[in-house]
Structure 1
Amino acid sequence: MDAPQPSSARAGGVIATLAFAGITAAIMQTLVTPLIAELPQLLHTSSSNAAWVITATLLVAAVCVPVVGRLGDLVGKRRMLLVCSVPLIAGSVVCALSSSVVPMIVGRGLQGMGMGMVPLGIALLRDVVPAERLSSSIALVSASMGIGGGLGLPIAAAIAQYANWRALFWGSAGLAVVVALLVWFLIPDVPAGAKGQRFDAPGALGLAVGLVCLLLGVSKGADWGWGSPTILGLFAAAVIVLLAWGFWELRTRDPLIDLRTTARPRVLITNLASIFVGVGMYASLLVVPQLLQFPSATGYGLGQSMLAAGLWMAPGGIMMMIVSPLGGKLTNARGPKFTLISGVLVIAAGYGLSIGLMGTAWGLMLVCIVINSGVGLAYGSMPALIMSSVPLSETAAANGFNTLMRSLGTSIGAAVIGVVLAQMTNTAGGYTFTSEGGFRTGLMIGGGVALLAALVAAAIPAVRRPPAGEEEALPATALEGASVES
């Protein structure tokens, strides 16, 4: 039985709160980007140790997002949103007070624990938002991770350039406190969808170990050597542990993630498409800032400061915010599958434009606008596809797993594009740097993966209307879209 739906005004407050929570969580991820080059000096450590300031957030978020999603189904999504705000606040304060690398890594890990806010928020929308606003609100909250990343970079760059770097973390602590207060006062408490079921602790532990091995191998392969015993051992351990985890999940009564549901063609193919979308999105985030900041003496770099580069890219984040609700309307009219395919084709078009426009800052700004518009459409449609295929008792866990697939895609994208940029280089004046061909290849890979994502998305089957009496397992928008989806 669905919870009573709030008034339109109350629903607007819920949607705004959850979108703000997602944007805040995304800002936590991009917060240290302007400081990457300075972290070894600031923390009195080596570059390799300083890199863990970024890696720690990735690993902890990957482990916590699906676990937090399942706990949201078990004990209530509002309660878990409040729980997620605690490590966001604590981690920000720890980072602000840090003067060495270990407490900074601990603080960044705590911030990673709060990343489960986005899938929790998306799942909560299904419980409390009127049906006519569900698609557009899902699209906005889902795209908030990209919006926060796009807006957070120039803001963080400005603070880092014109104020003390610790102000970045005090500011993020303040944002997290605001999120907690908004959740406390504006988010209604609805019954847990899987109340009474037990938490799968062995499944959570197995997934954590497997994901850490996999993502650590992917993120550190370029630094430690793809053929090194450490990296090969990590990949082998990931395969063994995740296979054992899958065996356990299929046989336990209340699994962390219901793999039978995940194996449904509609869910499985959507998650596969999510990986490719993550790769396609991240290629531009890795290439465009470097092109903007490379010295103009190279002949293809544009010589912009970090702040200027962030400002050139900021319109892309703003466009994602504008496009996301429009994507929800498109989903209502044509179904989420159509919106996903449209989004990834727009991403591919943006990469196509980049080949001819990479020589000017204005051109790269236009490229970011087009690519991020496509990301807004694609990211907004994927939760709708997932939630039209899973029962109410699994919405948060299923969205957490889909968010994990996106994160896996961005990790793979970072590794692949990083290898390309590191291998295709020029040498001059004793310095080795990425060649123009390397940047072009990175952009072409992004476009190619986006086209591949479109092919995968085209294979998503249409939603099947459930038997009589089971309509509550699907949101109204999904049922409406079923008749028009191809």
Structure 2
Amino acid sequence: MDAPRPPAARTGGVVATLAFAGTVAAVMQTLVTPLIAELPKILHTSASNAAWVITITLLVSAVCVPVSGRLGDLVGKRKMLLVCVVPLAAGSVVCALCSSLVPMIVGRGLQGMGMGVVPLGIALLRDVVPKEKLSSSIALVSASLGIGGALGLPISAAVAQYASWRVLFWASAALAVTIGVMIWFLVPDVPASAEGQRFDVPGALGLGAGLVCLLLAISKGADWGWGSATTVGLFAASVVLLLVWGFWELRTRDPLVDLRTTARPRVLLTNIASVFVGVGMYASMLITPQLLQFPEATGYGLGQSMLAAGLWMAPGGLMMMVVSPLGGKLTDARGPKFTLVCGVLVIAAGYGVALALMGTAWGLMVAMMVSSGGVGLAYGAMPALIMGSVPLSETASANGFNTLMRSLGTSTGAAVVGVVLSQMTTDLGGYTFTSEDGFRTGLLVGCGVALVAAAFSALIPGLRHSPDAAPAEAAVTSGQAPARA
């Protein structure tokens, strides 16, 4: 029997709380971006060591998101949401108080531990939101990661420019505590969907080790050298560890990630598309601020400050916020596959706009708004596809795995576009800058990747409506689980 759902008035508070939590978590990921140039001086270290302040959050969140998702299924999603808030707040306080590298890395790692709030929140919506509001609610909470990333940059830049950098972390600590209070009072507790099953400790350790090796190789390969023994060794270790992990997951009774479910064509193709969507989204986030901030003397740079560049990009986040509920309505009308295909095609169109209008700040703003609209559509459709294809007992863990796929995409996108921008350069006044052709190539890569995502999305099969196959999308909108194969 399904758990009783809160009244509609209260579910509005639930959705607002979960969307706010996802937005704040995303803001924490971009929090240090305005400080990158200053971090070596602030922490009394080298630039290469300071880069770990960003890398550690990526690594820890990649390891912890699938784990927190599975624990949400086992012990309850509300409990795990509250647990995730603790390291978000504690990590922010540690960063605010630190004056050296190691405490900052510890604090940023703690912040990474709390990034599971988004997949947990999306999974919780399936339990508590009325079916007529579920698609739009999923779209808004899922897109909160992109919304927070787009809005966090100008906000962080403004605070860093006009106040102490420590204010950023004290503010994030206060926001984390606020989220905890909102979850405590506004989010209802529902029974754990996989209560009685065991937590797969070997699976968690194996996946974590494999992901750390893979993401370290991707994120640090450019610094260490793509052909260096360290990078190649990490890639090889990740392959071995993930193969062993997969062997274990297929044979244990209660796996961390049910690979048989993940191998279903709808789930598999959605996760593959998610990787490419992550690449496509992050390519523009990497290229646009550089074009805005490069000196005008280059002939293609626009000479904007960090704060001004963030403000030019902020309408993209607002567009995502506007489009996400509309994407939910589109999903209700045509299905999540249609919404996903539309979303990635809009992302590709955004890159086309950027290629045509990259010589002006307003042109890049329009391009970001178009791309962000596509991200809003795509990010809302992917969880709907996933939840429509997995049992209720795996909702949170499946969403966590899908979030991980997006993160792998953003990491890969950063590495690929970073290589393009670093290899195609020009000299000006004794300094080396990425050339105009380099930026155009990066934009073409982003456009091409978005089109690849559209192709994979179009291949996602429809649901089989037969006596032996429950209609999974109807199950999502009713809050019930599709039959488990």
Report what 2:201 is aligned to.
201
Q: How big is each residue's C-alpha offset from its partner over 1:368-413, in whole Å with a ceiling of 9 and x where there is no partner?
A: 0000000000000000000000000000000000000000000000
Report what 2:86 is aligned to.
86
Could you tell me the TM-score, scaled by structure 1's length?
0.97
Distance 1:474-1:399 versus aligned 2 partners, 3 A rule:
farther
The separation in 2 between residues aligned to 1:321 and 1:144, in whole angstroms, is 8
Supply the AA of the counterpart residue of 1:416: V
Distance 1:290-1:152 versus aligned 2 partners, 3 A rule:
same
Report what 2:189 is aligned to.
189
The separation in 2 between residues aligned to 1:474 and 1:233, in whole angstroms, is 46
Is 1:237 matched with 2:237? yes
Give SS of 1:340's match: helix
Give SS of 1:251's match: coil
Supply the AA of the counterpart residue of 1:41: K
Is 1:392 matched with 2:397? no
Q: How big is each residue's C-alpha offset from its partner over 1:225-261, in whole Å with a ceiling of 9 and x where there is no partner?
A: 0000000000000000000000000000000000000
Is 1:449 matched with 2:468? no
Report what 1:32 is aligned to.
32
Report what 2:267 is aligned to.
267
Q: How big is each residue's C-alpha offset from its partner over 1:96-130, in whole Å with a ceiling of 9 and x where there is no partner?
A: 00100100000000000000000000000000000
The separation in 2 between residues aligned to 1:327 and 1:94, in whole angstroms, is 38
Contact preservation (8 Å) 1:13, 1:186: yes
Q: How big is each residue's C-alpha offset from its partner over 1:62-84, in whole Å with a ceiling of 9 and x where there is no partner?
A: 00000000000000000000000
Report what 1:463 is aligned to.
463
The separation in 1 between residues aligned to 2:55 and 2:319, in whole angstroms, is 28
The separation in 2 between residues aligned to 1:366 and 1:292, in whole angstroms, is 13
Report what 1:401 is aligned to.
401
Report what 1:16 is aligned to.
16
Contact preservation (8 Å) 1:384, 1:478: no
How is 1:150-299 mapped onto 2 (pairs within 5 angstroms)?
150-299=150-299
Distance 1:434-1:78 versus aligned 2 partners, 3 A rule:
same
Supply the AA of the counterpart residue of 2:18: L
Contact preservation (8 Å) 1:65, 1:116: yes
Contact preservation (8 Å) 1:90, 1:110: yes
Contact preservation (8 Å) 1:154, 1:311: yes
Supply the AA of the counterpart residue of 2:258: D
> Which of 68-77 and 427-436 deviates more?
427-436
1:478, distance to aligned residue in structure 2 (A): 8.5
1:2, distance to aligned residue in structure 2 (A): 2.1
Report what 1:435 is aligned to.
435
1:296, distance to aligned residue in structure 2 (A): 0.6
The separation in 1 between residues aligned to 2:102 and 2:402, in whole angstroms, is 31
Distance 1:153-1:382 versus aligned 2 partners, 3 A rule:
same
Q: How big is each residue's C-alpha offset from its partner over 1:303-353, in whole Å with a ceiling of 9 and x where there is no partner?
A: 000000000000000000000000000000000000000000000001011
The separation in 2 between residues aligned to 1:181 and 1:434, in whole angstroms, is 46
Supply the AA of the counterpart residue of 2:257: I
The separation in 2 between residues aligned to 1:472 and 1:406, in whole angstroms, is 23
1:463, distance to aligned residue in structure 2 (A): 1.8
1:472, distance to aligned residue in structure 2 (A): 8.3
Provide runs of 4+ in structure 1 moved above 2 Å. 464-479
Report what 2:64 is aligned to.
64
- Structure 1 unaligned spans of 5+: none
Give SS of 1:5's match: coil
Report what 1:381 is aligned to.
381
Q: How big is each residue's C-alpha offset from its partner over 1:153-208, in whole Å with a ceiling of 9 and x where there is no partner?
A: 10000000000000000000000000000000000000000000000000000000
Contact preservation (8 Å) 1:346, 1:373: yes
How is 1:291-370 mapped onto 2 (pairs within 5 angstroms)?
291-370=291-370
Is 1:108 matched with 2:126? no
The separation in 2 between residues aligned to 1:121 and 1:465, in whole angstroms, is 29
The separation in 2 between residues aligned to 1:61 and 1:399, in whole angstroms, is 14
1:464, distance to aligned residue in structure 2 (A): 2.4
Distance 1:469-1:452 versus aligned 2 partners, 3 A rule:
closer
Give SS of 1:83's match: helix
How is 1:99-138 mapped onto 2 (pairs within 5 angstroms)?
99-138=99-138
> Which of 427-436 and 374-383 deviates more?
427-436
1:5, distance to aligned residue in structure 2 (A): 1.4
Supply the AA of the counterpart residue of 2:341: I
Give SS of 2:433's match: strand
1:475, distance to aligned residue in structure 2 (A): 2.8
The separation in 1 between residues aligned to 2:478 and 2:35, in whole angstroms, is 43
1:356, distance to aligned residue in structure 2 (A): 1.1
The separation in 2 between residues aligned to 1:13 and 1:275, in whole angstroms, is 31
Give SS of 2:250's match: helix
